[in-house]
Amino acid sequence: MIDNLIFDTSERVNIDSLDLLDENLHENDRSRATGFVGPNSEVQWLRTFLLLERADGTTAKGMMPEQRTWSAGPINNEQVSAITFYLDNENIDLDFHVDSYGLPPPEVAEQLLGVYMDKVHSSFPILPRRLFEDQFRRYFIGLAQGTAPRLNAKWQAILNLVFAIGSKYSHLIKASWQADERDHLIYQARARNFAWNESTLTQHPDLPQIQVAGLLAFYYLSVGQTSR
């Protein structure tokens, strides 16, 4: 009676669902960027879909013609890392020096802040809106008057991540006021210079550091770098 309650003989273990992988995902940067590849991951779903499609020699109904040609060359059954639609394998490091203390013109900064607050903040309230907007405007007024206060490094990182997210959004919607396509990379590089170094990584985390981490995670998501 007890054995039957504990071990239900009517159930069988499905060994096909075990999370096994015959591939070294630590081999190089491209494979390490694959991220989560468990049975419930999007990567495994896409791999199964493509293998089934190739097996029966047909293309899934309802797929647009341009979607049928995105996979170049034959699919290697063993390479999970070769089947992904995220951009983690793309390098986001800049090949030139970035001035950490650089800032966009005030009117551009205001637009980037407005985009972030209007499109991101309501769903992801990482920052205290009124306080941050007040600090933002007081700082830029101080810059214009030559009386700007010395900023905390983590606040500067937060500011640049807000700019980076707003800049990326402006390119996604093809806004008339969008600037250079690499601007969001420059902003995130400045933020990393301020917030990610040996001293901050060894300190006990505080609220600004957690806000930086949340904003950086959202930024990576917005540029397709989901496994960073």
Choose among 165, 150, 171: nearest CA to 212: 165
Contact call for residues 34 and 227 (beta carbons, < 8 A): yes
pLDDT at 69: 39
Q: Which helix (H) or strand (E) holds 119?
A: none
Contact call for residues 47 and 83 (beta carbons, < 8 A): yes
Q: What is the mean pLDDT of each run of 10 residues along the chain (228 residues)?
A: 44 47 61 59 65 58 44 46 57 69 93 95 94 95 90 93 95 84 90 80 82 92 76
Report pLDDT digits (tens) over 12-52: 444 455 455 556 666 666 655 555 566 666 666 666 666 66
pLDDT at 7: 41
CB neighbours of residue 92 within 10 Å: 16
pLDDT at 134: 96
pLDDT at 148: 87
Report pLDDT digits (tens) over 103-115: 999 999 999 999 9
pLDDT at 57: 55
Q: Residue type for 206, please?
A: D
Choose among 23, 17, 25: nearest CA to 48: 17
pLDDT at 80: 57
For tokens 């793309």, name the residue: 90
pLDDT at 119: 92
pLDDT at 97: 77
Q: Mapping DSSP to helix (H, G, I), strand (E, B) and coil, where does residue 26 land?
A: coil
First to last CA, the chain: 50
